[in-house]
C-alpha cells in the first residue's frame, strides 16, 4: 500500500517519508537505505570535507540505490564559511535532481538550482519564512516545529500550530518536520495540511545509520524530556539530547558574563562527530529531538518506513473513518 500526495509525485517516491539532512549522519549508507525503502534519502553536503568528496559520496549513493535521493545544503553564518558555491556546483554537475536547502539567505543557491531543473525543498521554522520561500520559487516547504532536533528558530511554535498555520498561507506542498516517528504522526501531519513527513532523530535509531550503536540505544532509552535548548542567549537556539556537555552549556549560558567563546569548545562540531562515531555519550553534543520519547527500537529503514505507512493507512481507513456516524 502507499499514500499518494503532491510530495510523492514531485519527488518520484513511493511513500511521503523524507530523511532529514543531518550533519555527520546523512551519508550514502543511510540515504540509500531510506530511498530503497520508498522514501527520500538525503546526503548532507557539508558532512563531506570537500566538494570533491561530496561528488564521490553522491556516486557511492547512486551505486547503492536506483531510487531518487537528495542532497542537503545548509547555509549558516560563519567567520570562515565553507565554499558553498563549490559544493553547489558539485551537486549540479553530479546530476542530483533534488536538493534540500536550509539556513540564511539561500536565494542565490535556490535560483541556481532551479536554473538547472532541480527540485528544491526549503526548510523553514516559521510561517513568514515559508511564505518568503514560496515567493523565492522553491518547490516544497519543510516546516520545522519547535519539537525538532537542530535549530527550531526563535519563535517556539510547535508543529500542531505551525503546520496548519503555514498550510493556510502556502499553496505549494509542505513536509512536516519535528516530532515525527510513527504512523500516528504521519496521519496527523496529513490532517494538519502537510503532504509528508521529515524525520531526523527517528532515522538515527536505525540499523543503517552510520553512527555508533551506543548512540542509537541512548536515543531509544531517552524520553521526551531528555533534551536541552542551547545557544538561546546567542539567538541561535539548538535542541540537543541531554548529556553532561549540553547540561554544562545550559549552565554557563545562564551566567550573565558568559560569552560565546566561553562555550565554543563545548559546542564544537568535531566533538559531536567524535561522540557519534565512538559512542562516547559525553564526548560532545548529540543532536536529538523530543521525539526520542516515541522511539523504542532500532529497525532497518525498510521495516521502519513500511511500518509507518501501514500504521498511517490503518488509522485513516479504520480508526478515523469509524468515528464518522452515518447520517
At 238 the pLDDT is: 96
At 321 the pLDDT is: 80
Question: Three cell numbers at 309?
Answer: 505507512
At 319 the pLDDT is: 81
Could you report the per-residue pLDDT of 268-284, keeping only the tens digit for each? 999 999 999 999 999 99
* Best CA proximity match to 170, nearest among 201, 141, 199: 141
Could you report the per-residue pLDDT of 200-224, keeping only the tens digit for each? 999 999 999 999 999 999 999 999 9
At 306 the pLDDT is: 98
Could you report the per-residue pLDDT of 112-127, keeping only the tens digit for each? 999 999 999 999 999 9
Beta bridge partners of 206: none
Beta-carbon contacts of 276 under 8 Å, excluding residues fewer than 6 positions away, are 24, 25, 211, 212, 215, 286
* Best CA proximity match to 39, nearest among 211, 217, 200, 215: 200
Question: Three cell numbers at 318?
Answer: 479504520
Question: What's the average model confidence in pLDDT over 83-92?
Answer: 97
* Best CA proximity match to 183, nearest among 48, 284, 319: 319
Could you report the per-residue pLDDT of 133-144, keeping only the tens digit for each? 999 999 999 999
Whether 15 shows a pLDDT value over 70: the answer reads yes
Tracing cell 510530495 back to the chain, one arrives at 7
Could you report the per-residue pLDDT of 30-42, keeping only the tens digit for each? 999 999 999 999 9
Question: Three cell numbers at 50?
Answer: 570537500
Beta bridge partners of 44: 72
Question: Three cell numbers at 276?
Answer: 557519534
Q: What residue spans define the domains of the chain?
A: 6-211, 227-287
C-alpha neighbours within 13 Å on the C-beta side of residue 71: 30
At 105 the pLDDT is: 87
Beta strand residue intervals within the chain, DSSP E: 17-19, 41-44, 69-75, 98-103, 119-124, 140-144, 174-177, 197-199, 227-230, 238-241
User: Percentage of the chain with pLDDT > 90?
Assistant: 94
Name the CATH architecture for the domain at 6-211: Alpha-Beta Barrel (3.20)
At 1 the pLDDT is: 67
Amino acid at each position: 500500500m502507499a499514500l499518494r500526495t503532491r510530495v510523492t509525485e514531485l519527488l518520484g517516491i513511493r511513500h511521503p517519508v523524507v530523511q532529514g539532512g543531518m550533519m555527520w549522519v546523512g551519508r550514502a549508507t543511510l540515504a540509500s537505505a531510506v530511498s530503497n525503502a520508498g522514501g527520500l534519502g538525503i546526503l548532507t553536503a557539508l558532512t563531506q570535507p570537500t566538494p570533491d568528496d561530496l561528488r564521490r559520496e553522491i556516486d557511492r549513493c547512486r551505486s547503492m540505490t536506483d531510487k531518487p535521493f537528495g542532497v542537503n545544503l545548509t547555509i549558516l553564518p560563519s567567520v570562515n564559511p565553507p565554499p558553498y558555491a563549490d559544493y553547489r556546483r558539485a551537486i549540479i554537475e553530479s546530476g542530483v535532481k533534488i536538493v534540500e536547502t536550509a539556513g540564511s539567505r539561500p536565494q542565490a543557491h535556490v535560483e541556481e538550482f532551479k536554473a538547472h531543473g532541480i527540485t528544491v525543498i526549503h526548510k523553514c521554522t516559521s510561517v513568514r519564512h515559508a511564505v518568503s520561500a514560496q515567493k523565492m520559487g522553491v518547490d516544497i516547504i519543510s516546516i520545522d516545529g519547535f519539537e525538532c532536533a537542530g535549530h527550531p528558530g526563535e519563535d517556539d511554535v510547535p508543529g500542531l500550530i505551525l503546520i496548519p498555520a503555514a498550510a493556510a498561507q502556502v499553496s505549494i506542498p509542505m513536509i512536516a518536520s519535528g516530532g515525527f516517528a510513527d504512523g500516528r504522526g504521519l496521519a496527523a501531519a496529513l490532517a494538519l495540511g502537510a503532504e509528508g513527513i521529515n524525520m531526523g532523530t527517528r532515522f538515527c535509531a536505525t540499523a543503517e545509520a552510520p553512527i555508533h550503536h551506543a548512540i542509537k540505544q541512548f536515543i531509544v532509552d531517552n524520553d521526551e524530556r531528555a533534551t536541552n535548548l542551547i545557544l538561546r542567549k546567542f539567538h541561535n537556539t539548538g535542541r540537543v539530547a541531554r548529556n553532561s556537555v549540553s547540561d554544562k552549556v545550559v549552565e554557563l549560558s545562564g551566567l550573565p558574563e558568559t560569552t560565546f567563546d566561553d562555550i565554543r569548545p563545548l559546542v564544537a562540531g568535531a566533538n559531536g562527530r567524535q561522540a557519534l562515531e565512538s559512542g562516547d555519550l559525553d564526548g560532545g553534543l548529540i543532536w536529538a529531538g523530543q521525539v526520542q520519547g516515541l522511539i523504542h527500537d532500532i529497525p532497518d529503514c525498510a521495516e521502519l518506513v513500511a511500518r509507518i505507512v501501514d500504521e498511517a493507512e490503518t488509522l485513516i481507513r479504520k480508526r478515523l473513518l469509524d468515528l464518522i456516524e452515518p447520517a
